[in-house]
Amino acid sequence: MRVTPVRAPAGGTVDQAGQTRSARIESLRGLAAVGVVVSHVYGWAHDYRPEIYETFRGRALLGGGFGVHLFFVLSGYLLYLPFARSLIGDGARIDLRRYARNRVVRVVPLYLTVLAVLLLAQHDGGTFTQWWRFALFLQNFSASTVGTVDGPMWSLAVEVWFYAALPLLAVAVAAVAHRSARRAGVVLVLLGLASLALRTVVVQQPTHPSLMWQYSPFTNFLFFVPGMVLALLRVRADVWSRPGPWGRADVWLLASGPLWLLAVWDYEYTAVTAVAGFLVVGACVLPLRPGPLVRLLDASWLAVLGVASFSLYLWHFPIVEAVAGRLPGAGFPRLAAVLVPGCCLLALVSYRLVEAPFLRLRRGWTVPARLESGAPDAVAR
């Protein structure tokens, strides 16, 4: 069945190195990154003592780290959308060379800059093993490097492996589904459930799970699946045309709340953040009727912070660790008051000096297109 893309949801825009982006998408990135920062500030303020996990307040603040799962959902949606249009809808053929160039300039320059600074400044220049494993995004596959140098870098390795596998995965899903969006959704959900089953066995059930399994692309794939399913919904012309409460974006946002609370109430239910992320991102990218809650994400200051969220995500951890270590007993409120705005300011500077010059290179090969929930060309986000 031939499908056509639905209209793009309304919302503000923000500039990213000369290209237009959805303010709501970038605001979600900003909120996710700040959540991760707050989580680490709280953890270091209490030296990650076991008792901080015993209170709901502690688990909720540490649960800001679930912002990483929201990043994964966003990546699943934005990167799979052009493939879904091309292979299942009636979109243009994907230029894989352009796709690869976009991924490289988006991730590699800042990642290698942060890696080099940290290895030189904190690890006596680093070892040969550290350099080649991190440079090839293989750090999660070795006990000697997983979770080291810069803690948040583990998710970059997961993201890059998703980028690399996505073209083949998209072709395979389309072939199995015979270009049916409905069947493709079923295939993706089954793959997500397989990832969840593996995560349950090797991460949730063991008392002391291996970090290599915890940070594996296979046990984290389930968080990309909701975004990919949303991409399939975007190429359906008739799915969201009916009235009712589920046609309202704010209902989707509110429905995600209990799921986030369940995840922080008991970390055994972490997987529900995949569904929560589906609802949050869906509220911003599907043609739902907007309300006052979703319109808050059009705030320009939050969207600008979201544009710099990659810098915020990669730089904040060593800064939080260093400052908290030099101010023992400072307490969470004082540290948060200094570190959260300080890290955000550094992120904006890093974006301008490191990220933006490389991101501008995309204008030389990106074909202008309409703005639809993330970018003129979602492959180029």
Greatest pairwise CA separation for the chain in angstroms: 63
Q: Please indicate whether residue 235 or residue 24 has the higher confidence score (pLDDT).
A: 24
pLDDT band at 238 (very low <50, low <70, confident <90, very high): low
Model pLDDT, residue 374: 45
Judge whether residue 375 has pLDDT over 80.
no
Model pLDDT, residue 18: 85
Judge whether residue 294 has pLDDT over 70.
yes
Judge whether residue 41 has pLDDT over 60.
yes
Judge whether residue 241 has pLDDT over 70.
no
Give the residue among 226, 179, 219, 223 at the shortest CA–CA distance from 202: 219
Give the SS3 label for residue 261. Answer: helix
| Mean pLDDT value of segment 131-137 | 97
pLDDT band at 328 (very low <50, low <70, confident <90, very high): confident
Quickly list H helices, 147-220: 153-177, 181-199, 211-214, 217-220
| Mean pLDDT value of segment 295-324 | 96
Which span out of 11-15, 87-91, 231-235 was modeled with the highest average pLDDT?
A: 231-235
Model pLDDT, residue 377: 39
How many C-beta atoms lie closer than 10 Å to residue 22's C-beta?
Answer: 28
Model pLDDT, residue 236: 78
Element (H, E) at 28: helix 23-45
> In the chain, what are the domain boundaries?
13-380
Question: The whole model's pTM is what?
Answer: 0.93
pLDDT band at 240 (very low <50, low <70, confident <90, very high): low
Give the residue among 228, 88, 254, 233 at the shortest CA–CA distance from 171: 88
Model pLDDT, residue 290: 92
Q: CA-to-CA distance for 260 and 16, rounded, in angstroms?
A: 29
CA angle in degrees (0–180, nearest 5) for 163-166-170:
160
| Mean pLDDT value of segment 69-91 | 95
pLDDT mean across residues, the chain: 91
pLDDT digits over 14-24, tens only?
Answer: 989 888 999 99
Model pLDDT, residue 9: 59
Model pLDDT, residue 363: 84
Give the residue among 290, 283, 268, 350 at the shortest CA–CA distance from 316: 350
